[in-house]
Amino acid sequence: MTTLAPAAADALPQTIDQVLVRLNGILDDALRGGTRIGYFAALYERVTTNVRRALVAGNVFQDNPRMERLDVVFANRFLAAWDQHASGGTPSESWQAAFALLDDPGPLVVQHLLIGMNAHINLDLGIAAATVAPDPAQLDALWPDFKRINDVLSRLVIVVEDELGEISPRLKRIEDFAPALEDKLFDFGIDVARDVAWALAKELARTPADGWDAVIARRDAEVAAVGRALYPLHGILVAPVVSWIHAAESTDIRYNIQVVAE
């Protein structure tokens, strides 16, 4: 794994409001340019907005300042990766797997989302949790709120999956008439991803700081392999079904971004 280059102190957000400014900037650029990074940026802006509302309400998390810090550290993993990619640098291998497909019309919109979520949850979330709670006792205290932020993500993913029917009507037909097959094709397994991220956080919390790079590099390679396996999808049943879905999916990137962002 190539480690993300350190950013200047003022280059990355320090608050959740600043995170939203950056995400909306990426989203606006994607809408103007018709670029597929807007799919993930749109989903992530919605997730972050929902987390912010939970922080404002004050009745969701046990420790709101710690959760805002987690949200910011987590978001900055994506923002730093995107900045590095956009400037010609080399982000983590997991994000390379996602960014490599942005100019490819082959993947479904949902595949772009899943490959981005794979990098961000299976790699970045565990690193962010261990950064905010760097020893086992602190990490144990974080667990209830860690589960709650996962619940926010899970609820929103369900909503977005339903909205994707506007972009991909055949995907919606599979969901309506063969939900088990739809789950087999596209279920990301948020709970599983959460557990994978938590396992990484626990491993990092037990590891001296000078050993983090090796742990992260190993996980990055594993997560990147999962990302690359998400497109193209092979198999006697899966590949033809995905091709059938793709044939009817909207090719209007700007419209698709707006649907995901609704």
Helix (H, G, I), strand (E, B) or coil at 144: helix
Residue 175 is assigned to a structural domain of this protein: yes
Q: pLDDT by residue (tens digit) across 141-197?
A: 999 999 998 888 878 877 788 889 999 999 888 777 666 555 555 555 677 888 999
What's the average model confidence in pLDDT over 66-86?
98
Q: pLDDT by residue (tens digit) across 114-152?
A: 999 999 999 999 999 999 999 999 999 999 999 998 888
Residue 251 is assigned to a structural domain of this protein: yes
Helix (H, G, I), strand (E, B) or coil at 234: coil
Least confident of 2-6, 29-33, 119-123, 219-223: 2-6
Q: pLDDT by residue (tens digit) across 234-245?
A: 887 788 988 999
Residue 139 is assigned to a structural domain of this protein: yes
For residue 232, is the peptide bond before it cis, meaning its omega torsion is within 30 degrees of 0? yes
Which residue do the tokens 């900037």 mark?
A: 25
Residue 215 is assigned to a structural domain of this protein: yes
Check: CB of residue 42 under 8 Å from CB of residue 117. no
Residue 6 is assigned to a structural domain of this protein: no
Q: Which long-range contacts (CB under 8 A, 24 or more apart) does 236-244 make?
A: 238/184, 238/185, 241/174, 241/181, 241/185, 242/108, 242/185, 244/170
Residue 27 is assigned to a structural domain of this protein: yes
Average pLDDT, rounded, for the chain: 90
Whether the pLDDT of residue 60 is over 90: the answer is yes
Residue 92 is assigned to a structural domain of this protein: yes
Q: How many domains are contained in the chain? A: 1
Confidence of residue 78 (pLDDT cuts 50, 70, 90): very high
Q: According to the model, what pLDDT value does residue 182 have? A: 53
Residue 9 is assigned to a structural domain of this protein: no
Domain span at 85: 16-261
- The whole-angstrom separation of Cα 130 and Cα 107 is 33
Q: According to the model, what pLDDT value does residue 147 have? A: 93
